[in-house]
Each structure stands twice: as structure tokens, then as C-alpha cells.
A and B are shown apart, each in its own frame.
Chain A
Amino acid sequence: MLLPTPFHPKTSLLNENNEWRNWSGFMVAGTYEPTHEREYYAIRNAAALIDVSPLYKYDLLGQDAERLVNKIVTRNVKKCDLGQIMYSPWCDENGHMIDDGTIWRLAENHFRITAADPNLRWFEDCGFGLDCLVADVSNELAALALQGPNSRPILREVTTGIELENIGYYRLASTTIAGIPLTITRTGFTGDLGFELWFSPEYAERMWDVLMEVGYRYGLLPAGMVALDIARIEAGLLLIEVDYISSTRALIDSRKSTPFDAGLAWTVALDKGSFVGRKALRAEAARGNRWALVGLEIDWPVLESLFAVQDLPPLVAGRASREAVPVYNENGRQIGQATSRTFSPILKKYIALATVESEFAQEGFPLSIEVTVEFTRQQCPARVISIPFYDPVHKRK
């Protein structure tokens, strides 16, 4: 049985479709309206409220908190200032990714890690012998993502005593909204300007009401997972179990990915000292990674012509697809797979995140992708382009 999130009394009234997604055993809306389009554009053009409570959250507290976090993740958290947040993957001993999430420094000896999967045991085991408590605070924190260019003006109306402009990209602050104490992080999964709000679940319904009441004047809409999935592909953000498989779940080694394979080389601080997977990652850095994550832009006129043969319009617009399809090189040899695909409504391009053999990862490289036209498998040209596909200036402003 799926569990309600703390916002369920509110979201269930708004979910016209009764379309729910299973997110870590919780019910979250797929779409609220019959189609996801307005929700998507709320993210990109106004503001969207997304229930992200099912995320796992861990607090790491103690003298050795920094040591432990630095041992777990690949980034160097010594460089993480108080009030700063870092995105990082973490790996097993072989350098294969277990999960990824955000690392917050709440105090000198207090970190918080958000994660897609349960990680309590892993974090505790990593901390064996260290003076650091690992606490699963997942159910103690309700979480709302307020995303989109109007997210700041909405927050400005409801918060007091803080300058939202001062919360920089990947920074956090503590404040109150309508008397409710909360932490605001300048983070999100949309690649747009946005914030995430973390507070005690007992205030969930009140917080929802306060934000919706003020937000409707700024075009705020509740948005579900379908809209979010399109936005996160445009932002080039990886989804676990879709774009990479956790090494804890992969049945065979070839399904596992290192951060280098997944385009996350920038998160690997090999020189920071010892951390889990360092040896393997150092060897890979020297050897070169076999796989690379790339963005693909599928050639739309050709795609259109493939469908036109069947007298059909290109039947791809709509929701993002998480079904992996083969990617080929110019000689027709399969050199990887596209793991997430979507038509980008804002870019008017059909885009994909793909994992390909690293020699084919250069920008502009001509590849092709499998498309199914009227039950027939075809290949359609696609070009390697840089990710994020969509990266608005206001995201960091």
C-alpha cells in the first residue's frame, strides 16, 4: 500500500486525474491536471509547487562529521562553507555509484545529506569508529520544491527577516513562514530558479495553503512528476535507476557506473584524501573512462520524415520516456543507449540523455538513435550536444 505524504490532504483534493506515482512507497501526483503542459510551463515560466517529501534525508552529527561525509562522498566537503550545499555522488569501494544527492553544511559538525535511496546502513558502516551520529530524519522533514522564475517573489511575500537575494545558488537559510520554522535551500531538480523548503510535517498543510494563497497571483501551480521529469532532462540532471543504476542494485557489473561514466568527473576530488572508491576512481582517471554521459539532439526534420512515410505526424511529443533505446555510431554499431528522452517544449527540440562509449562523446559527433515508427524500428540521426540542454541565466542569479 502506498503511503500518503504529509501534503496528501491537500494534493489529493487537487489531483483531478487521481494519477499517483510511487516514489519510495509514497503517493505523489503524476499530474494534477488532465495533461502536464501547464504544470511544466509553470516550472519554466511562473512557479510550481512540487511535493518532494519522499526524498531520504540524513543528519550526520558529531566531531567527525566532516571526516565521515568526506569519506562517503566524492566531493571535497572541507570546502563546503557553513550554509553551503554541494551536489555529490557517493560510491562503493570499486568506484561505482551508489546514489547521489545534496550535502548541506548546517553547522561546523552537522551535515545533512538528501538521497534517492535508503542509505542509513551504508553511512553508519562508513562511520564505524568515527565520532559521528547518523540519523534518518526522512519522516521528520516534509519537503516542498518551489521552482520557477517567480519562486523568489512568492517567497519574498511570505518570509520575514531574510533577504532572499542573499541565498545564493546552492546555499541555505533558516527562517519562518507564517510562523512555521523552516530551512530554505536554493536547490531543485528543474534547472530553473528555485528553492526547496524543509520543515516539520505537522505544518505541511498550513505551509501548502500559505504558498498557494500567495502564489496564485504569480501563476503558481502544483506540479507533478510528469512535468518534473521533462524539466530535469532539460536540466541534464540524472535520475537513479533510469540514467544510472545504483551499484547496490545492479545485478551485473556492466550495469554499474562510475561518476566518470555518468558525466560527474567534476564531482570527484581525487586529491582530497581518502574516501570510499578513491583507489578505483584514481585508476580509472589514469586509464580513461569507458563510458560517457552525453546530451543528444535528435534530428527533427528526419524524424518527421520517418513518420511521414507512414502518413503520421511525429508521435513523440508528450511525456518523457524512461525506456532506454540503443544509440548507434555512423557505421551502425551500437555504442550505447539513450536512457531518458523527451520533447523539450521550451527548446522545441527532441532531446535525450545517453550513455555512450567515451570516444563518441565529443560535441557535434553524429550518432543515431533508435526510434519506433508504426511498430518498426528505425534509426534517426542525432547529434551530441552539451548538457544542460536548458540553462537559464536566472537559475544562478
Chain B
Amino acid sequence: MGDRQNNYDVIVIGGGHNGLVNAAYLARAGKKVIVLEQRHLIGGASVTEEIYPGFNYTVMSYVVSLLRPEIIRDLDLPKHGLRILPLESTLTPLPNGDFLYRDSDHYRTFRDIARFSPRDAEAYEEYSQAMFFMAKAVKYLLGIIPPDPATFQPRDLGGLLGLARHLLGLNERDRYMLAKLMTMSSADFVEQWFESEPLKATLAASGIIGTYLGVRSPGTAYVLLHHYMGEIDGQFRAWGFAKGGTGGIANAIGNAARAFGAEIHTSARVSQVIVNKGQATGVTLEGGDEIDADVIVSSLDPKRTFLELVDKTFLPEDLVNGIRKFSVRGSSAKVNLALDGVPELACQPGFGRHLAGAISISPDLDYLEMAYDDAKYGDFSRRPYIDIIIPSMIDPDMAPPGKHVMSCFVQYAPYQLREGTWDKKRDALGDIVIDTLAQYFPNIKDLILHRQVVTPLDTEHLIGLSQGNIFQGELSLSQLFFLRPAAGYAQYRTPIKGYYQCGSGTHPGGGITGAPGRLAALEILRDEK
């Protein structure tokens, strides 16, 4: 790459967290990098916006755990404003006025689970330990380029050998457990330990987040594990809330990228990647402007990366087919609320730290599975699973003093509706969510100053995630590791020279990990040598 004045070494398409991580790593390596983001602000799905004056919504993603510690360190993100505040508890309110509460107080949690089942309380310890070992086992995968078992290239063989060595290093129990996790449903998985419904349902719910599957669908146990792989400060499974919402994470990464010399342009939508003789040479912006670079990295989802940004004639048939079949069915919605005061739980009235954790509407497994039943046939759930946090209880700067914002992750809301359109049904979904909330928070309706309903269609339109899938593609076994996004194309390269992919649609997948962005950057730098 030469030293050029008006053009760049690298263009990163999309200013979501992975695009920004990718840009920061490449800029850190001395590349002249420009990030092109279509919206007026960076972050992609990791974004905080003042939708209602004075109230900051975590519009899409809302919590963090998976952000890789090496990225935090390499990019010195704390210096650039990253603050991860603790999110210590999970409260599951029940329709009968009872609740299950788990937090960092070990014995209190034990006692509370024991109210439902003394056996579960004891099993909880064993489960936690098993999940610790599982998270440790798969942590290895988060840091490696997925080796392709079909190529027989030395590097892939080396990678497979490393993987084999890693798996053999696990003890027998963990290897069996890993096999189960990869294949079971999350409901069956947790039922190996537990018998009480609120606990089973709340744990199993992690297995359906962002997927178009139910808690009893095989493969969801892996998604559950995916949510357990995070670590904060060396503590596995810890979840946190970023100061300023998840937009605070994107801003910190953006600041780091800029500090390394990257330029970030917003309101700059790329319409086409320019390809000359099999080599990507630049991009065309929506207004017609062209920017040249030797390396073009797309952080967009695989559908957009391969089927929209480039002329399909440059791509082999197997890839086009693979990407066309790549499942990106959106299944979730967000409802964000501005509240005039403290939302009080019927089961635990008053103000307190139980409101500063997660609140999960997941009373029992049947509730969750029935929510999926609606979705299977193209309806949104009449009684949805809702994962609630009240960001202003954790970071008071999210709302004016004494006021609150509430973030509700809602499932299921299928992208493809059986009847009608999301534009017509958006409010109906919002009403269902509010009615569900009102069962548990009796004062909620009186407090609502503003509500934002983000359907999968809105996610697609606003952020550009195809079909509104929050992971840029379902985290099913058939779409992971060397199969993500397509067999033979899982190592961040594409058949077009100089064109790379770095979004959540690549290994190791979705969530605010930064891992795809980082691994792609390392591969790009490797190709240079």
C-alpha cells in the first residue's frame, strides 16, 4: 500500500461496533482507514439515541458481556470513555405475585431458589460451575480464525490440530457436556439440573434471544452458551451495562479508532463496491462519489455484503447460493419507554436495587414455548418473552433526575408476518408489550411519556440489518464456525481480492464481542505480508 494523499488504504463499510473495531485495529497497524456509516451517528445496533427529549434510549442492543477483554486492552477503551457498570441481578416476576430473585448475594439467591425447589438451589451451584467450564472451553474459539476442515491447507490443518488439542485438553465430563450443548434444546439442557419453572424458564430464555427458535427447539442450548461466554474483568458470565448505553461502547471504540488516525464519516451510504479484474478497488457512495482503496471491508450482514454491495457475477455460484440460504430471520423487537417516575413491581414494590438488574418476563417454559407457537405461524407473541432493564437505574445520566427509561427486548416478533404489515401492526405489538408489563408493573401505564416500538422491519430500515436479525444471521450450528457465513468463506476473505467481511455474520457471531472485527483485521494484515 503506497502513501497516497486523497485516498485510503482501507475502507470499512458500516460504523457498527465490529466495523469500528476493525478500523481501529487497522489504523493501529498504520493503515490509512476511513469508516463509512450510512446513518448520522456511529454504532449500528450498538447505539444510544435521545429519541424523546432528555431520555436516552438504548435503541437496539442494551447490555454487554461478550466484548473481548483483549480488545478493551489493545484499544485502551477505558481511556476512550468505556465504562461498564455492573448488572448484578435477575428478577423473574410471576403472575401470582411471587417472584424469583437472583443476585450476587450467594446465600440469598440460594434461599430464593429454594423457596421454589430446595433441590434446584443445590443444583444451581453445580450448574454455575458447569457453565463456567463450558465458557472457558469455548473461549478458545472466540480468539481463533475458524479452520476449514475441507481444504487440507497447512494453515487449516494446523488450526484443526490446535482445536483438537484444545478439545482433548478438556476432561471427559466437559467434552460430553459440550456435545450436549451443541445439540440440545435450551429447555432440555436446563432440565438436566432444575425442576422449578421460573428458574428453568429464565435460564432457558437465554437460548432463544435473537433466534427464530423456541426453548424446546434443538440447537438453542448453544445460543444459551453464547450468552454465557462473556467475561468482565476476568469474571466469566458477568453482564454489565455500558455507561451511556451501548452507544457508549461504539463511541469509545470510535474514539480509539480516531486516536489511531482513522477517519469516520457518517451519513455516507455505500451503494456499490467497485471491482476491477477480480480486485476490489473502491466504493461508490449513494450520491455517486467514489473513494479508492486497496482493501474494502464490509461489516454489513452477509446478505448485503455479497448480494447487494457487489455484482453477483464476480462471485462463485456456491457462495451466492450459500448466502441466499443463510438464515437471517428476524425474531425480536424492542420497546423503549420514557417514564415519568419509578416503575414499581407488584411483587416487590418500591425503589431498590432489584430494579437495577435484569427483569425477565419468563414465568415458565410453557409460557416461552407458547410465545414461540404464535411466531411459528407468522404472528407476534400474544404473551411475549420480555427481557427488561431500566438503564437509568444503573446510569442516572440516561434520563432526567427522577425519571427513567425502560428497555424491553421482546420476543417473538417475526420479520415475516402472516397477515398485515409491520407498519400497520407496530402499535398493536407495542400495546401487547405494555399490557404484559402492566401485569407486573401496575403503575407503568400512568408513567409512560413516550414509547418507541422497534419492529424487525424498523431494525432493517434503520440499521440495515437484513430482516432485522440482531446477530446478522441465526446462531444455529449450521451457521457457525467454519460455516459462518458460508462453507469455504468463513475466514473473513471473499472471492474478490481485497474485499473482506468483518460483521457479526462471520465467526464467532453476534453480540457486542468485537471479535469478528478484530479477527478480520488480523487476517487482512496477515495477507499483506
Contact = CB atoms under 8 A, between A and B. Distances in A.
A and B co-occur in one complex: yes
A345 interface: yes
Contacts of A199: none
Given A314-B234, A348-B233, A35 B104 contact: yes
Interface stretch (B156-164, B394-402, B442-450, B488-496): B394-402
A371 to B, nearest CB: 13
B112 interface: no
Contacts of A332: none
A2 interface: no
B108 interface: yes
Given A33-B353, A34-B105, A45-B83, A347 B78 contact: yes
Contact of A45 (B73, B85, B231): B85
B235 interface: yes
A34 B108 contact: yes
B207 to A, nearest CB: 24
A45 B72 contact: no
A218 B398 CA distance: 11
Interface in B322-374: 351, 353, 356
A313 B234 contact: yes
B236 interface: yes
B197 interface: no
A315 B235 CA distance: 9
A313 B396 contact: no
B234 A317 contact: yes
B507 interface: no
Nearest to B395: A45
Contacts of A218: 396, 401
A300 B73 contact: yes
Given A346-B78, A348-B73, A38 B234 contact: no
A216 interface: yes
Nearest to B69: A348
Chain B binding site: helix, strand, loop or mixed by DSSP?
mixed
Contact of B104 (A34, A301, A317, A347): A34
Interface in B111-169: 136
Contacts of B84: 345
A348 B86 contact: no
A243 to B, nearest CB: 24
Interface residues of A, number: 30
B88 interface: yes
Interface string B63-92: 000000110110001100001111010000
Interface string B217-260: 00000000000000101111000000100000000000000000
A287 interface: no
B86 A37 contact: yes
A38 B73 contact: no
Nearest to B396: A219
A150 B353 contact: no
B294 interface: no
Nearest to B169: A311
Contacts of B108: 34
Contacts of A284: none
A41 interface: yes
Nearest to A345: B233
B505 to A, nearest CB: 28
A150 B396 contact: yes
A35 B243 CA distance: 20
Given A217-B401, A217-B402, A343-B233, A38 B86 contact: yes
Contacts of B83: 44-45, 346
Contacts of A150: 396
A116 B105 CA distance: 33
A211 interface: no
Contacts of A316: 234
B103 interface: yes
A16 B108 CA distance: 11
Contacts of B401: 153, 217-218
A357 interface: no
Interface in A198-225: 216-219
Contacts of B353: 33, 38
A304 interface: yes
Contacts of A45: 83, 85, 243, 395
A304 B70 CA distance: 11
A46 interface: yes
Nearest to A38: B86
A16 B86 CA distance: 18
A348 B72 contact: yes
Contact of A313 (B77, B105, B235, B243): B235
- Chain A CB count within 10 A is highest, among B72, B77, B106, B401, for B401
- Chain A CB count within 10 A is highest, among B73, B78, B103, for B78
A36 B73 CA distance: 24
Contacts of A34: 103-106, 108
A304 B234 contact: yes
Interface string A288-326: 000000000000110010000000011111000000000
Contacts of B103: 34
Contact of A46 (B88, B105, B396): B396
Given A33-B353, A34-B104, A317 B73 contact: no
A288 to B, nearest CB: 33
Interface in B37-85: 69-70, 72-73, 77-78, 83-85
A314 B73 CA distance: 15
Nearest to B82: A348
A348 B64 CA distance: 15
A217 B353 CA distance: 13
Interface in B276-293: none
Nearest to B398: A219
A216 B234 contact: no
8 contacts: A16-B105, A38-B86, A38-B356, A46-B395, A216-B351, A219-B396, A304-B234, A343-B234
Nearest 7 interchain pairs by C-beta: A219-B396, A34-B105, A217-B402, A217-B401, A37-B86, A317-B233, A314-B234
Interface of B: 69-70, 72-73, 77-78, 83-86, 88, 103-106, 108, 136, 231, 233-236, 243, 351, 353, 356, 395-396, 401-402
Given A41-B85, A315-B234, A343-B233, 14 more contacts: A16-B105, A34-B106, A34-B108, A37-B86, A45-B395, A46-B396, A150-B396, A153-B401, A218-B401, A300-B73, A301-B73, A313-B136, A313-B231, A313-B234
